[in-house]
Amino acid sequence: MEKLILVINPGSTSTKIAVFKNRKEIFLLNVKHERGTLLQFERIADQFDYRKNMIKDELVKAGIDINEINIVVGRGGLLKPIDGGVYKVNEAMIRDVRNPMGEHESNLGGLIAYEIANEIGKGVYAIIVDPTCVDEMEDIARISGIPELPRKSLLHALNQRAVARKYAKELGKAYEDINVIVCHMGGGISVGSHCKGRIVDVNNGLNGDGPMSPERSGSVPVGQLVELCFSGQFTKAEIMKKIKGKGGLVAYLGTSDAIAIEKRIEEGDKQAGLVYSAMAYQVAKEIGSFSTVLKGEVDGIILTGGLAYGNEFINEISERIKHLGTIRVYPGEGEMEALAMNGFMALSGEIEVKDYA
3-state secondary structure (DSSP) of residue 89: coil
CA distance 211 to 111: 31
Q: Which domains does the chain have, with CATH numbers?
A: 4-135+335-355 (3.30.420.40), 171-331 (3.30.420.40)
Beta strand 24-32 pairing with 198-202: unpaired
Q: Tell me what percent of the chain is helix, strand and coil, each rounded to the nearest 5.
A: 45, 20, 35
Q: Report whether 186 contacts 309 (CB < 8 A).
A: no
CA distance 335 to 173: 22
How would you class 348 by CB atoms within 10 Å of its CB: exposed for 0-12, middle for 13-18, buried for 19 or more?
exposed
Helix (H) or strand (E) holding 175: none
pLDDT at 302: 98
Q: How many CA atoms lie within 13 A of 198 on its CB side?
A: 10
Q: How far is CA 267 from the centre of its chain?
A: 32
Beta strand 71-75 pairing with 125-129: parallel
Q: Report whether 329 contacts 293 (CB < 8 A).
A: no
Q: Which residues pair with 18 in a beta bridge?
A: 7, 28
Rg (CA), the chain: 20
pLDDT at 12: 76
pLDDT at 87: 97
pTM for the model: 0.88
CB-based contacts of 321: which residues, under 8 Å, 6+ apart?
284, 287, 288, 301, 327
Series of mean pLDDT values for 10-residue runs along the chain (357 residues): 94 90 96 84 89 96 96 92 95 86 82 96 96 94 96 92 95 97 95 98 90 96 97 96 93 94 97 98 98 98 96 97 97 92 95 93
